[in-house]
């Protein structure tokens, strides 16, 4: 998750996320020169003995990203210290972008883990009564609350439509570009998150404790990278002109 901004829509929290597409290898092709990003389907992504759909992984990614306190967040981490924080799977490794300024990170990844992350995505969470909503443009600092149901958050994400308008997305892995990034859009649908319980540890408004959420965006899964050193770079911007630039030095061991 890399760039974020807050958009006022009723009493919903919406964050824009710009992250990285990580590599060229994909599913079902032993010829490494011909491998491509794993297609969006029920039969893939797959890593080890555990098979997931893109929808399942996208929900898991948001639950992971929004469930970590700000002080340990991989999103806010500028050097890679929190790369391994609370990884939820023994077959898939989640990667995050940044909070809006250029960063260079180093990250060690266990061998045999597939990688999953959003290239560009948006999410909504439903606010609860009396939460601080001033950051999203409300005239008072308390929110009257929203219904904690699927329709509330799904409408928010649908109305936004940001993944369709991504600009200047570019990703390289070991100097090789990853193409057709918009071809991997996935609607995560509605799900539940469990955010930090300490309001001082929130990264974004309206993410404390359990609540409804929904997400939509471009996500990428790749099969495990070979052991050794790899370099990932990515950049892009949203329609408002927000730009991001990130470099990862990855060690697979």
Model confidence band, residue 17 (pLDDT cutoffs 50, 70, 90): very low
Q: Is the pLDDT of residue 81 over 80?
A: yes
168 located within any domain: yes
Where do we find the tokens 């609860």? 128
For residues 213 and 55, what is the distance between their CA atoms, to the nearest angstrom? Answer: 14
Name the average pLDDT for the chain. Answer: 76
Residues 6+ apart with CB under 8 A from 71: 201
Number of domains in the chain: 1
Q: How far apart are CA 17 and CA 37, in angstroms?
A: 20
What letter would DSSP give residue 37? Answer: P
Residue 102 has pLDDT above 70, yes or no: yes
Angstrom distance (rounded) from CA 58 to CA 117: 8
5 domain residue, yes or no: no
| 7 occurs within a structural domain | no
Q: Between these two residues, 20 and 57, which has the higher pLDDT value? A: 57
pLDDT at 38: 58
pLDDT given at position 110: 94
Phi, psi of 84 (to 5 degrees): -95, 5
- How would DSSP label each residue in 145-202? ----SHHHHHHHHHHH-GGGG-EEEEEEETTEE---GGGGEEEEEEEEEE--SSGGG-
pLDDT score, position 195: 95
Which residue's entry shows tokens 């799977």? Answer: 89
Kindly state the average pLDDT of the residues 130-138: 61
Q: Is the pLDDT of residue 39 over 80?
A: no
Note whether residue 61 is domain-resident. Answer: yes
Q: Is residue 121 part of a domain?
A: yes
Does the residue 176 lie in any domain? yes
In a domain, 6, yes or no: no
Confidence of residue 249 (pLDDT cuts 50, 70, 90): very high
The answer to whether the bond into 152 is cis (omega within 30° of 0) is no
Structural domain span for residue 217: 12-252
Q: Assess whether pLDDT exceeds 60 at residue 238.
A: yes
Q: State residue 53's pLDDT score.
A: 83
Tens-digit pLDDT profile for residues 177-221: 877 777 778 899 999 999 999 988 988 888 999 999 999 887 878
Between the alpha carbon of residue 205 and those of residues 18, 32, 167, 182, the distances in Å are 18, 43, 26, 28
């Amino acid at each position: 998750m890399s760039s974020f901004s807050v958009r006022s829509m009723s009493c919903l929290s919406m964050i824009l996320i710009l992250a990285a597409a990580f590599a060229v290898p994909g599913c079902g092709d032993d010829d490494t020169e011909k491998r491509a990003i794993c297609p969006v389907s029920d039969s893939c992504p797959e890593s080890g003995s555990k098979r997931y759909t893109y929808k399942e992984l996208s929900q898991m990614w948001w639950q992971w990203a929004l469930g970590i306190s700000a002080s340990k967040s991989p999103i806010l981490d500028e050097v890679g210290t929190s790369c391994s924080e609370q990884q939820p799977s023994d077959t898939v490794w989640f990667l995050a972008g940044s909070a809006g300024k250029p960063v260079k990170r180093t990250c060690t990844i266990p061998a045999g883990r597939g990688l999953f992350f959003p290239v560009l995505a948006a999410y909504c969470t439903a606010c609860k009564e009396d939460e601080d909503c001033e950051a999203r443009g409300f005239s008072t600092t308390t929110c009257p609350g929203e219904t904690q149901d699927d329709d509330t958050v799904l409408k928010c994400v649908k109305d936004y439509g940001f993944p369709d308008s991504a600009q200047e997305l570019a990703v390289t892995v070991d100097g090789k570009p990853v193409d057709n990034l918009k071809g991997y859009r996935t609607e995560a649908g509605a799900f539940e998150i469990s955010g930090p319980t300490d309001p001082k540890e929130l990264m974004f408004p309206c993410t404390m404790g359990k609540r409804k959420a929904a997400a939509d965006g471009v996500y990428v899964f790749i099969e495990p990278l070979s052991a050794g050193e790899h370099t990932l770079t990515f950049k892009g911007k949203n329609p408002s002109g927000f730009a991001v630039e990130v470099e990862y030095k990855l060690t697979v061991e």
